[in-house]
């Protein structure tokens, strides 16, 4: 056993460059895993209120759930990595067997190597994770605006144990799969584990051009479907977008590289310059043989970039519009069912509030949408489908004036044939600005009304702005409409805070048996929104970084394996007089092409996807999409750039150490 241990240690030392990417990825993965799973321990060092503690518990639960997803991704990544590491060392393993080792002994060496690498990665990852969790605690404290007076260094035992258990299971699974792989290998395959470049079997440019055209059409259809769907529902349009986009991406990588190679071979001045012919053939072999991997990386990167940028965008919008969306101290929402609703104003007065501290809004369903309000000039830039999907509700002028009174604004008067529309969703601002400019008439309840004003106002407390349009009309026009809800707003004014809170508690006690009614306090919503913002931000960063890292690792490991298998080709070129500088340039161009191809298409996919997702986020408030894109681009370039540099240096070292 000692001999196997020495062999394993020697192999790791000898192949340290091969294991570098594997080791760094595992270490960083463990670091992230521990950091985000230690969030629950932060409540011990932060002075938080009960709602904040509850939000922190929710964040911890959500991160635990996503840790399971991340674990599955890391399992796949480790299996993928080991597959290429074994392929890289097939000849070495074959020599062991020629020297008399059986498959069990070879497997034992690989098991020891995996255990050693895993143990060192686990220790380094946990140490880095403990340090990173300290900084994550500071970020969490700032998000919650918590008191840091009792801030101290915390070691999370549950996160520590969970990290060890999860990654031990992953390592055990990895060992089992390695043993299974070795048991199926034949000695002849191990000794002659060489790779031949894939020949371009079909050299018909027209054929590949047609496949490429089909891929572009499918991707275009996918874009059209997702923009039409707007990510609003998981209907056939959304499913079709995923299907066409995935198939189109696969066909794109299948055909585009072949077209590029065929075109390059027809341009002799480029193709025959230096060792470009060799480089082009190598790039072709790498790309055409791994088009499925390229498509997978492209899709993973799309998810990573979308999750990362959209998560930050949602957090940004929630924070920016929160104060504005909560104009009153408290509120009660009562959704009308078949039975007779209670008198909320009477309940509030009996609970201790005065009538001048209360406003009541009764909101009615209508059969109208935004398209009902506009003419061609007013909705320039908005599709009919979009306008038809935005429904309108209605409220009486009396209830609207009750709201204005509580908000401290002057009341308004409406003639029988006049109407006002009130909204708060920022995405519709340009639409309503146009509508306000041109005005117009519309049919409502069998009567033609003149739209005299358009206002952006927050009619009731909402953690998210969702009022796409409320028509303010005279009471008589609402008699035939179905009542949707009662919204009661409460302003404490000069009332003692403790007394007001008790009075509001009495209201909640009076309606708690009514399953379709609930009350909200401004302060509670503020605290809860911080938790939501934190969850969205952390999930976006957690998932985004892991997926980016996984994509880069798959490309890096595949390139290192290909480079190792092609050492003899570079050695032959060196013997023919090719300089090391030319060889280095060829290696650089090959690896750069392999990294850039999937990243380039990912950027195009992301432009469309983020644009659609941003439209949804803008429904919640103003969004500085460029800031998020720059941050996302920075992280993407940092992760991909780091793996690219490590891959290039490692691949170059593999070649140059064989060339004297």
Profile the chain (660 residues) by mean pLDDT over runs of 10 residues.
74 70 80 79 58 68 74 73 69 73 77 81 88 76 61 74 85 78 66 50 70 91 84 76 90 82 72 79 76 86 84 71 81 76 85 92 90 65 75 93 93 92 86 83 86 90 84 91 90 88 87 74 79 76 82 82 78 85 89 89 88 71 70 87 88 79
Angle, helices 567-575 vs 580-618, to 10°: value is: 140
**Cα separation, 463 vs 529, whole angstroms:** 7
Torsion of CA 119, 4, 565, 182, to 10 degrees: -90
Q: Which of 29, 71, 70, 36 is nearest to 56 (CA)?
A: 36
Q: 243-247: long-range contacts at Cβ-Cβ below 8 A with a sequence spacing of 24 or more?
A: 244/218, 244/219, 245/218, 245/219, 245/605, 246/295, 246/299, 247/218
Neighbours of 269 (CB within 10 A): 7
Do residues 440 and 432 make contact, with C-beta atoms less than 8 angstroms apart?
no
Q: Concatenated DSSP letters for 591-622?
A: HHHHHHHHHHHHHHHHHHHHHHHHHHHHTTS-
Q: Which of 331, 449, 443 is nearest to 397 (CA)?
A: 449
**Cα separation, 455 vs 433, whole angstroms:** 9
Sequence length of the chain is: 660
Residue 195's pLDDT is: 47
Tell me if residue 358 falls in helix, strand or coil: strand
Q: Which of 416, 465, 204 is nearest to 318 (CA)?
A: 465
Residue 213's pLDDT is: 92
**Cα separation, 518 vs 332, whole angstroms:** 6
The number of CA neighbours under 13 Å toward the Cβ of 495 is 21
Do residues 437 and 454 make contact, with C-beta atoms less than 8 angstroms apart?
no
Q: Concatenated DSSP letters for 402-421?
A: HHHHHHT-------TTEEEE
Question: Which DSSP symbol is given to 659?
Answer: -
What stretches of 619-656 show up as alpha helix (H) in DSSP? 625-656
Residue 197's pLDDT is: 47
Residue 490's pLDDT is: 93
Q: Concatenated DSSP letters for 470-514?
A: EEEE-GGGGTTSPEEEEEEEE--TTS-HHHHHHHHHHHHHHHTT-
Angle, helices 103-144 vs 2-14, to 10°: value is: 60
First-residue to last-residue Cα distance in the chain: 37
All residues at 6 or more sequence positions from 79 whose CB lies less than 8 Å from its CB, including other chains: 173, 174, 177
Tell me if residue 391 falls in helix, strand or coil: strand
Residue 198's pLDDT is: 47
Neighbours of 454 (CB within 10 A): 19
From residue 616, alpha-carbon distances to 231, 310, 313, 533 in Å are 8, 10, 10, 16
Angle, helices 276-288 vs 522-565, to 10°: value is: 130
Residue 49's pLDDT is: 60
């Amino acid at each position: 056993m000692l001999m196997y241990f020495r062999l394993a240690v020697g192999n790791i030392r000898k192949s340290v460059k091969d294991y570098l990417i594997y080791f760094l990825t595992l270490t960083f993965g463990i670091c992230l895993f521990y950091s985000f799973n230690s969030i629950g321990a932060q409540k011990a060092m932060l002075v938080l209120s009960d709602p904040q503690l509850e939000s922190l518990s929710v964040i911890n639960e959500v991160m635990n759930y996503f840790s399971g997803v991340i674990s599955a991704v890391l399992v796949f990544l480790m299996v993928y990595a080991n597959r290429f590491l074994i392929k890289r060392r097939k000849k070495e393993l074959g020599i062991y067997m020629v020297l008399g080792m059986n498959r069990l002994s070879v497997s034992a060496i690989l098991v020891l190597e995996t255990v050693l690498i895993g143990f060192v990665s686990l220790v380094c990852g946990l140490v880095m994770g403990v340090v990173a969790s300290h900084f994550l605690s500071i970020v969490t404290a700032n998000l919650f605006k918590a008191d840091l007076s009792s801030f101290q260094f915390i070691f999370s035992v549950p996160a520590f144990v969970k990290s060890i258990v999860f990654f031990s299971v992953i390592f055990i699974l990895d060992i089992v799969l390695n043993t299974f792989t070795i048991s199926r290998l034949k000695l002849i395959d191990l000794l002659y584990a060489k790779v031949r470049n894939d020949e371009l079997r079909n050299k018909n440019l027209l054929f590949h051009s047609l496949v490429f055209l089909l891929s572009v059409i499918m991707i275009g259809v996918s874009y059209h479907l997702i923009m039409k769907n707007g990510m609003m529902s998981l209907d056939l349009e959304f499913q079709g977008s995923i299907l066409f986009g995935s198939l189109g991406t696969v066909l794109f990588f299948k055909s585009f590289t072949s077209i590029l190679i065929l075109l390059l071979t027809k341009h002799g001045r480029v193709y025959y310059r230096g060792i470009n012919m060799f480089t082009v053939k190598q790039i072709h072999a790498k790309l055409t043989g791994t088009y499925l991997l390229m498509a997978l990386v492209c899709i993973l990167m799309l998810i990573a970039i979308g999750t990362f940028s959209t998560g930050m965008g949602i957090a940004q919008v929630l924070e920016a519009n929160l104060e504005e969306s909560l104009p009153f101290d408290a509120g009660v929402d009562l959704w009308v069912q078949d039975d007779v609703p209670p008198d909320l104003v009477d309940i509030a007065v009996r609970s201790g509030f005065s009538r001048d501290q209360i406003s009541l809004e009764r909101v009615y369903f209508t059969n109208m949408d935004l398209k009902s309000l506009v003419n061609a000039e007013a909705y320039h830039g908005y599709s009919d489908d979009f306008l038809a999907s935005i429904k309108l509700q209605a409220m009486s002028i009396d209830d609207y004036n009750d709201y204005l009174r509580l908000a401290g604004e002057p009341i308004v008067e409406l003639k029988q044939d006049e109407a006002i529309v009130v909204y708060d969703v920022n995405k519709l601002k340009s639409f309503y600005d146009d509508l306000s400019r041109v005005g117009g008439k519309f049919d409502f309840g069998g009567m033609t009304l003149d739209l005299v004003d358009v206002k952006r106002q927050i009619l009731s407390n909402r953690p998210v702005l969702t009022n796409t349009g409320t028509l303010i009309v005279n009471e008589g026009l609402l008699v035939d409409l179905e009542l949707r809800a009662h919204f009661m707003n409460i302003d404490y004014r000069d009332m003692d805070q403790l007394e007001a809170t008790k009075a509001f508690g009495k209201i909640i006690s009076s309606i708690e048996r009514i399953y379709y009614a609930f009350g909200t306090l401004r302060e509670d919503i503020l605290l809860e929104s911080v938790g939501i913002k934190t969850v969205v931000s952390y999930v976006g960063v957690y998932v985004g970084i892991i997926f980016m890292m996984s994509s880069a690792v798959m490309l890096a490991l595949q390139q290192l394996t290909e480079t190792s298998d092609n050492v003899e080709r570079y050695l032959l070129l060196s013997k023919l007089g090719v300089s090391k500088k030319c060889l280095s340039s060829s290696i650089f161009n090959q690896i750069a092409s392999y990294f850039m191809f999937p990243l380039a298409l990912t950027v195009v996919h992301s432009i469309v996807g983020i644009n659609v997702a941003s439209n949804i986020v803008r429904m919640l408030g103003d969004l500085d999409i460029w800031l998020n894109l720059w941050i996302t681009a920075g992280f993407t370039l940092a992760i991909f750039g780091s793996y690219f540099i490590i891959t290039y240096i490692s691949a170059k070292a593999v070649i140059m150490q064989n060339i004297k």
